[in-house]
Chains A and B, each alone.
Chain A
Amino acid sequence: MGIPTIYPTGTTLFDPGKCWSGYTLFIARETGCALVDMNGNVVHLWKGLHGFPTKLLPGGQVMGSLGVRSPKYGFMDYMDVVQVDWDGNVVWKFDQYEYIEDPGQEGMWMARQHHDYQREGSPVGYYAPGLTPLVEGGNTLILGHKDVRDPRISDKPLLDDVIYEVNWEGDIIWEWVCSEHFDEMDFSEAARNALCRNPTMVVGKGEVGDWMHMNSISTLGPNRWYDQGDERFHPDNIIWDGRQSNIIAVTDKESGRIVWQVGPDYDGNQAVRELGWIIGQHHAHMIPRGLPGEGNILVFDNGGFSGYGSPNPGAPTGHNNALRDYSRIIEFNPITLKVIWQYSYEEAGFLPKMNNSDFYSPLISSVQRLANGNTLITEGSSGRIFEVTEAFEIVWEYVSPYYGINKNANFVYRAYRVPYDWVPQLERPDEKEIPKLDRSRFRVPGSVWKPEEGVVEVEGTLPYPGPQLCVSKVDEPKDG
C-alpha cells in the first residue's frame, strides 16, 4: 500500500456536478460519531458514541452503541444498540440479550452486538427511495455473539454468530444461531479438518473460535427475483456474510434454512469460477429496490487472508488458506453469478501486480450504491472514503483525520452517505468544488521542485518504453 508519511486528510477531491451529495456518517476513531459535509466539515459530532457501525435515521437521529465489553473478556461485544437523538439523548436502547459477569466487574445485560444491525423499514440501512428506516417503533435485526460448543465444528469453545430480532418494546421475537446450520454450508473435508483444528481462535472469554466471523446482515427487501417467483429471495430473508469462511448466504426467515449461497469454495462450476474467489469480504448485501443495480449483490471483496482448506505455502495448516493482496468491489447477479460491475486496481488505473494493492483493505470496509448510480466505497484500513461513478471516475474523496491514540490508525469500519433532508436540524451546506490536484506539483512547505533547472541533454538516448515488470504479462487463462 505504501502510504507516505505525510498526505492530506479531510476532503481531497469533490466534483459537485457528478456527486450524489449529502452528509457522510462514520465513526471518528476514539472520538465519536461524525457527520461531515461534502467539503469535509464536521457538521455534527455525537461525542463518545460508539458504533459498529453507526447509522443515521431520517430526522437526525443516530443508531450506535454506548460502549464495548472489555477486550480482556469479550471479543467485539458491543454492550447495546441505542438510538440517540440530535442532542445526544438516548431514545431507545436494547441490551437484554445476555447477562454477563466479567471478573472484577458488576454483572450487566449486553446485546453482544457486533458488525451490523438493521432497523425495520430499510433493508440495508442506507438510503433507497421508499425504503426508509422507522424512527419510532419498528423491529431491529441485530447481529450478535453467543458462546457455544459444537463438536461437529471443533472441540474448542466457539464464539458463534447469532441474528436476533427485537421489537420496539425490547422483546426478542426471532433468533437464528449460525452454528446450528453448519451442515448446510458445504464445507469440504479439508476445510472441516482445518476448521476443527483452528476455528480462528481469538481472545474473548478465554480463547474462543470466531469460526464464521459474520460482519454483515440485511434483509433482501422487495426484489425482482421474488416477484418472478423465486422463493429464496423472499423480502424478509436475510443475507449475511462470513469473513472467515468466505461465505455469502441467504437465510430463509421462516424456516431458518440457508437457501442461497456462494462460497466457501469458488472452484466449483463455471459460473462460480468466473465470479472468482471472494475472500474476507465485508458488507455483502442486495442492492435495494429503487437504486441502480437493484437486486444485484454488492460486496467489498477485501482479499487479504481467510478461509479453511488444504494447506498451501501461504497457509501451512490450511487456516486462512485463501490469500490475495488486493481488494475489489463486485456487483453480481445472484442467479447467474455474472459480474455486472467491478472496481479494483484495474478500474482504479493501478499497475497490475506492481500496484494492485494500492486499492486494498484486508479488513473492515463497506460499499453503498447511491441513487445516481455512483458507489460510495469505504476503503477502511486506510480511512479512505470515496465516491466513484459507474465509469470509475472518483468524484469525491475523503480521508479520515481521526487517528486513535490506542491504535495509531485512522481506519473507518463503515461509512454511510445520507440525504441532506434526513438532517432537518441543519441548513443545506454550500458545496464548493475541490478540483483534482496535480500531485506532481503538490508540495508541502519547504519542499522545492524546479524541473527546468540543472538539465543537460544526453546524446544518443532512446525514448522510454512502457513498464516491464518482473512477472508474466499474461494472467492464467480463465477456465471454460
Chain B
Amino acid sequence: MFLGMSPEERLLANDNASRTILELRDAYRQQKANERKPEKMTHQIYSATGCARCHITKRFMKENGMDYEEYDIEADGKDAFAKFYRVHRAEIYRDKDGVEFPVYTDGSVIRQGVSVVIGHLVAGNGLDGFIGRSTLHGEWIDGFNISGGDPSRAGDLLKVMAYLKQNNLKILLTTDGRNPEVLKAVHDENLGDRIVMEVKGPAELYEALAGESIDPNALETSIRLAARFPDYQFYSIVAPMIPKDDTVRYLTPEEIGETAKTIEKATGSKKHPYELRPFDPDSAVDDRLKSAEPLPANAFFKYRTSARQYMVMTQIAK
C-alpha cells in the first residue's frame, strides 16, 4: 500500500504516523503520571532536644493535620542539620546564643522561630511585616510589630498570637501608631503582655521621620490603647529627618516636647514611662541619614527637660 502511494501521499502518511507516535508517547507519560500518588508538600522541622518553642510548633502542626519530618540536632538529626546549614547558611540567622530553633522548610522557603514558622503555616507571606525575628528567650517572645503589616490579615495575626498565648508565652509588641484597629483587637483579646510604642514625633513630622504619614487620630488612638496594656513604655528616637526642604536636621528639643505633649493629650496623664533613645545611623533607611553626625550625649538633657514638661518620668536611654 505504501509503495502504491504518490510521493505526496507518502509524506502525508509519514507525518500522520509521527504524530500518532508522539500522541501515544504523551498519553503513556500522562497515564504513568496519573498512576503516581498525588505529590504532597513536605514539612521539615529542625529542632533541639528540650526546645519548648519547637514543641509548640510541632504541636501546632499536629493539631492542624500537617505531617512533618523532624531532625533533632542533638540526636539523629545532627548531620542532616549540618548539611542543611552548609547549603543555607546565608538564610539562617544566628545570634550570640546560636541558631534559634525551630528551623522550618518546605523545600521552597526557610522560616525560623516559633512565631514566624506558625505565622507562615497560617498565612504564608500574609503576615510579613507583622511578625519578625524574636530576640527574647524563655517565657517572653517579641518580634510582633502591629504597625508593620497588612491590617486585612489581622485575623491571622490574632490566631498566631492566641496560639502562643495558649502555650504560655508572654508577648511583647511594638508599634509606631499605625494600624490602631489591629492594636485594639490585640488589646481586646488580651493577647499582649507588654507593648513598647515608638512615638516617632508629632504626627505632622511622621512623613519626614518615617517616610510615611500618619493620621493624627490613629496615632492618638494607638497611644491611648498602648497605655491600657498590662505593661507598656513609650519612646522616641531623637532622630535626624529630611523635611520638605531636603535639609537633614535632628528633631529639636521643642519637637520632642511636642511629642511628649501628644502622649499627654491622648491619655490625659503626664505619668507614663517615656524614654528618649539615641539615633543609630545603621538603622537609617535613607542613605542621607546614615552619615548624620551623632548628637553628643550631653545634648539629650535639653530634650529630657523639654519632654518632662508633659511626661514627668522621661528618661534618657543609655
Chain A residues within CB distance 8 Å of chain B: 96, 99, 101, 107, 109, 171-175, 177, 180
Contact = CB atoms under 8 A, between A and B. Distances in A.
Interface residues of B, number: 10
Contacts, number: 23
A109 B304 CA distance: 14
Contact of A99 (B301, B305, B312): B312
B86 interface: no
A180 B316 CA distance: 14
A172 B304 contact: yes
Interface in B259-313: 271, 298, 301-302, 304-305, 308, 312-313
B57 to A, nearest CB: 31
23 contacts: A96-B305, A96-B308, A99-B271, A99-B308, A99-B312, A99-B313, A101-B271, A107-B271, A107-B312, A109-B312, A171-B301, A171-B302, A171-B305, A172-B301, A172-B304, A172-B305, A173-B298, A173-B301, A174-B298, A174-B301, A175-B301, A177-B318, A180-B318
Contacts of A180: 318
Contacts of B298: 173-174
Given A99-B313, A107-B312, 19 more contacts: A96-B305, A96-B308, A99-B271, A99-B308, A99-B312, A107-B271, A109-B312, A171-B301, A171-B302, A171-B305, A172-B301, A172-B304, A172-B305, A173-B298, A173-B301, A174-B298, A175-B301, A177-B318, A180-B318
Contacts of A177: 318
A175 B305 CA distance: 13
Contacts of B313: 99
Secondary structure class of chain A's binding surface, majority of residues: strand
Interface of B: 271, 298, 301-302, 304-305, 308, 312-313, 318
A180 B297 CA distance: 14
Contacts of B305: 96, 171-172
Query: Across chains A and B, which 3 residue pairs bring their CB atoms closest together, nearest first?
Result: A99-B312, A172-B301, A171-B305
B317 to A, nearest CB: 12
Interface centre among B301, B304, B318 (most CB of A within 10 A): B301
B166 to A, nearest CB: 31
A172 B315 CA distance: 12
Contacts of B302: 171
A107 B270 CA distance: 11
A96 B318 CA distance: 20
Nearest to A172: B301
A176 to B, nearest CB: 11
A96 B306 CA distance: 12
A343 B298 CA distance: 42
Contacts of B308: 96, 99
A450 to B, nearest CB: 72
Nearest to A99: B312
Contacts of A96: 305, 308
B263 to A, nearest CB: 15
Contacts of B312: 99, 107, 109
Contacts of A107: 271, 312
Contacts of A174: 298, 301
B234 to A, nearest CB: 15
A172 B301 CA distance: 6
Contacts of B304: 172
A164 B122 CA distance: 53
A101 B269 CA distance: 14
A152 to B, nearest CB: 13
Contacts of A175: 301
B92 to A, nearest CB: 30
A175 B301 CA distance: 9
Interface centre among A99, A107, A174 (most CB of B within 10 A): A99
Contacts of A101: 271
Nearest to B306: A171
Nearest to B301: A172
A175 B318 CA distance: 12
A3 B305 CA distance: 50
Interface centre among A101, A109, A171, A174 (most CB of B within 10 A): A171
A49 to B, nearest CB: 27
Nearest to B253: A171
A335 B29 CA distance: 94
Nearest to B298: A174
B265 to A, nearest CB: 19
Nearest to A101: B271
A357 B308 CA distance: 50
A357 B305 CA distance: 49
Nearest to B318: A180
B135 to A, nearest CB: 18
A413 B8 CA distance: 125
A310 B297 CA distance: 38
Contacts of A173: 298, 301
